[in-house]
Amino acid sequence: MRTIFDKLALVRWLTDPLSAPFMQRALLAALLLSVAGGLLGVWIVLRRLAFFAHAVGSATFPGLVVAGPMGVAPPLAALAAGLGFAGLLSRLTRNGATSSDAATGLLLAGALALGSVLASDVYRSGVGVDRLLFGTLLGLGDGDLWLAAAVALAAAVATAALARTWLATGFDPAAARALGVRAARGDWLLLALLAASVVAVLPAVGALLVSTLLVIPAATARLLTGSLRTLLATSVALAATESVAGLLLSYHLDLPPGPAIAIVGGCGFALAALASAAPWRRTARAVA
């Protein structure tokens, strides 16, 4: 009898939170963003754009701070700030004097500093800053959900249509052009989708934790599998599992959901790293 009660308790632990409408919305958002983040994350990781994606996320912070007081829709303000960051980065690295990662670090620090000065001294946003930096899956509006759905759909369509272009371009850019692949167009579309997905995940995980959905699941999947199809599938599955697990933990332990998902993702990566370094896997690889 006792085991049945234990099982029921576990089931209740899993299902009780979902009786609340705000948790249902959060779950829907988490699953939609997992599709977008899981798919695009694979391309972000393969193309070594993880730091860039993190920086674009951070760069949206000043945009988010001014959006409320100025009466601008937060996604638009975030997008404008992210595009401004990309433009400045391109300008700074144009003559080759500053390397791309140094310029990215510089602008990332500048954006966070600007946002924090605007928040504390100009607009006195106070408590809202936490939410802008770390998000909250528990207070999403209809607009956030629609944006998540649109970006998930766009990521799925783009992955189906552009996988070959992105694969060949990332594999060897110079040879890709000679293969007749439209590398430049594919790259622009990838960067545009990256910007859109950053904006879509902001309300859920905030400006500082976009990597939670856009990098960690894909980087973890990369440790576990070698083919593109399974990489994409594993990345989406991991993103979904980690965000649902993080959401449940956040409900039961009263943690902020964004950081809870990030912690679950980090633990998942550590487990995958341990599993992929295990002796039996090394032997299997050597034989293969």
Among 91, 94, 164, 252, binds other proteins (CB under 8 A): 164
Q: Which two tokens stand for residue 229?
A: 């199809």
Listed in sequence order, the residues at least 6 apart from 96 whose beta carbon sits closer than 8 Å to its beta carbon are none
177 part of the interface to other proteins, by CB under 8 A:
yes
- For tokens 């992210």, the residue is 82
Measured CA to CA, the distance from residue 163 to residue 236 in angstroms comes to 16
167 part of the interface to other proteins, by CB under 8 A:
yes
Among 150, 156, 228, 233, binds other proteins (CB under 8 A): 228
Stretch that binds other proteins, among 73-81, 146-154, 174-182, 234-242 (CB under 8 A): 174-182
CA dihedral 195, 266, 236, 286 (to 10 degrees): 120
Stretch that binds other proteins, among 115-123, 179-187, 197-205, 269-277 (CB under 8 A): 179-187
- By C-beta, is 22 or 171 nearer to other proteins? 171
Q: How many residues bind to other proteins according to rule CB under 8 A?
A: 23
Among 26, 168, 213, 236, binds other proteins (CB under 8 A): 168
- By C-beta, is 31 or 223 nearer to other proteins? 223
180 part of the interface to other proteins, by CB under 8 A:
yes
Measured CA to CA, the distance from residue 25 to residue 33 in angstroms comes to 12
Compute φ and ψ for 157, nearest 5 degrees: -65, -45
Among 37, 41, 75, 170, binds other proteins (CB under 8 A): 170
**Burial, 279: exposed, middle or buried (Cβ in 10 Å; 0-12, 13-18, 19+)?**
exposed
- For tokens 């308790």, the residue is 9
3-state SS assignment for residue 97: coil
Distance of CA 85 to the CA centre of its chain: 18
CA distances from 142 to 57, 149, 171, 192, 258 (A): 21, 11, 39, 23, 19
Site string for other proteins, 39-68 (x = CB under 8 A): -------x----------------------
- By C-beta, is 130 or 187 nearer to other proteins? 187
For the chain, give percent helix, strand, coil, nearest 5. 85, 0, 15
Among 174, 253, 254, 287, binds other proteins (CB under 8 A): 174
Stretch that binds other proteins, among 5-13, 59-67, 146-154, 175-183 (CB under 8 A): 175-183
Measured CA to CA, the distance from residue 64 to residue 68 in angstroms comes to 7
Instruction: Please state the closest distance from residue 243 (CB atom) to other proteins, in A.
Output: 24
Q: Which residues bind other proteins (CB under 8 A)?
A: 46, 160-162, 164-165, 167-168, 170-172, 174-175, 177-181, 225-228, 231
